[in-house]
């Protein structure tokens, strides 16, 4: 089998684990942070990482107010560091994201590799405030720092057979304790169509809040596709491959009845375990009113044409 499952964890249970197993995160979401956790919360609220100078403001940014730095850096999906929402912040602090190389291969004319410094120097970085919907019907607004993935793709000259782009995360169980458990088939894999990858909204991200990415948010570089679910945001990328055949991503392999390849936000199609019609903003409190979920996460005008003729109920 392609996926090895630990006897005590099923993929269908993972996304809700924080609600039942981690009382601290549950209380924070509810807006009732216990006094005993205040010191940790205050420490997390302080921005860290090297600041980026002269960031351009992007016209693609939403007008929605951004979530707090604490929200963005303590409520994360990064299973390489654990399945709980607070695990990445808790267990990634010793992770070393330098030096860093990304290998580019497959259906392209100029395969090769690049380092972190190769992209943060030559490419003009910009800040984009994107509205992202998490998988479990939660949402968040985050000010990312990065540049269009299309700018990087051009450098490697994909050929006419390049129909998809496959990404892989670093596999290093010594630094990533979540990889010591067979929750997923490691390393983590994600994929986009070449059209999705080249869309100007798709961002290769190196920071947030004007600074370098914290470890728990995918340092040193990650993918952000704002009209997709949270799991279309692969982190700590070490491999990019242009392929003719559609890659199978990690969540599609783990739970094919729940997570398909496309992962578009479609409020008309329920997840097998919850409705996707409404969502609640992270940081607002568990009992705050939900708001309607928007088609393509509110980016329908920009991206709907990518799926002309595709049945989004069957191709979820």
Q: How far apart are CA 63 and CA 143, in angstroms?
A: 11
In which domain, by residue range, is 188 found?
12-307
- The answer to whether residue 154 sits within a structural domain is yes
CA torsion sign, 45 to 51 to 52 to 57?
positive
pTM of the model: 0.86
Residue among 125, 106, 215 at smallest CA distance from 169: 215
Tell me if 66 is assigned to some domain: yes
Q: Tell me how long the chain is.
A: 316
Q: What is the CATH number of the domain that holds 170?
A: 3.90.420.10
How far is Cα 262 from Cα 307, in angstroms, rounded to an integer? 10
> Looking at the domain assignment, is residue 157 inside a domain?
yes
Q: Are 188 and 176 in contact (CB under 8 A)?
A: no
User: What pLDDT, on the 0 to 100 scale, is given for residue 31?
Assistant: 40
Q: What is the pLDDT of residue 75?
A: 92
- Of the chain, the percentage scoring pLDDT greater than 90 comes to 66
Residues of the chain where predicted confidence (pLDDT) is lower than 50: 1-44
Would you say residue 316 lies in a domain? no
Q: Within a 13 Å sphere around the CA of 2, how many CA atoms are in the beta-carbon half?
A: 12
Residue 286: the pLDDT is: 64
Structure confidence at residue 32 (pLDDT): 32
Residue 315 within a domain: no
> Residue 207: inside a domain, yes or no?
yes
- DSSP notation for 223-284: EE-TTBBTTS---SEEEEEEESSPPPPHHHHH-TTT--SS-B--TTS-BTTB--SEEEETTS
- Does the residue 57 lie in any domain? yes
**CA–CA distance, 205 with 218 (Å, rounded to integer):** 9
Is 173 a member of any domain? yes
Residue 287 has a pLDDT of: 63
Task: Report how many domains make up the chain.
Answer: 1
What is residue 28's predicted lDDT score, i.e. its pLDDT? 44
Per the CB < 8 A criterion, the answer to whether 313 and 269 are in contact is yes
**Which pLDDT score, from 0 to 100, does residue 203 have?**
97
Q: d(Cα 60, Cα 235) in Å, to the nearest integer?
A: 22
């Amino acid at each position: 089998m392609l996926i090895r499952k630990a006897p005590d964890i099923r993929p269908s249970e993972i996304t809700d684990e924080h609600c039942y197993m981690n009382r601290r995160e549950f209380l924070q979401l509810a807006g009732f942070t216990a006094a005993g956790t205040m010191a940790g919360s205050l420490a997390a609220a302080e921005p860290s990482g090297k600041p980026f100078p002269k960031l351009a403001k992007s016209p693609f940014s939403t007008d929605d107010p951004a979530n707090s730095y604490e929200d963005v850096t303590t409520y994360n999906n990064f299973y390489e560091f654990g399945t709980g929402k607070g695990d990445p912040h808790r267990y990634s602090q010793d992770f070393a994201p330098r030096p860093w190389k990304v290998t580019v291969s497959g259906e392209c004319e100029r395969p090769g590799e690049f380092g972190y410094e190769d992209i943060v120097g030559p490419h003009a970085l910009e800040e984009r405030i994107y509205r992202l919907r998490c998988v479990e019907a939660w949402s968040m607004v985050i000010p990312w720092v990065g540049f269009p993935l299309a700018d990087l793709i051009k450098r490697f000259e994909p050929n006419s057979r390049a129909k998809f782009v496959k990404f892989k995360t670093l596999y290093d169980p010594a630094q990533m304790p979540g990889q010591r458990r067979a929750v997923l088939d490691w390393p983590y894999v994600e994929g986009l169509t070449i059209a999705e990858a080249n869309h100007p909204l798709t961002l290769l991200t190196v920071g947030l809040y004007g600074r370098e990415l914290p470890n728990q948010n995918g340092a040193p570089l990650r993918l952000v596709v704002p009209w997709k679910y949270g799991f279309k945001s692969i982190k700590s990328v070490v491999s990019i491959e242009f392929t003719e055949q559609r890659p199978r991503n990690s969540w599609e392999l783990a739970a094919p009845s729940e997570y398909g390849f496309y992962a578009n936000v479609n409020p008309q199609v329920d997840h097998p375990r919850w409705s996707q019609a409404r969502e609640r903003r992270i940081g607002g409190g568990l009992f705050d009113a939900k708001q309607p979920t928007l088609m393509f996460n509110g980016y329908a005008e920009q991206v709907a044409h990518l799926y002309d003729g595709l049945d989004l109920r069957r191709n979820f």
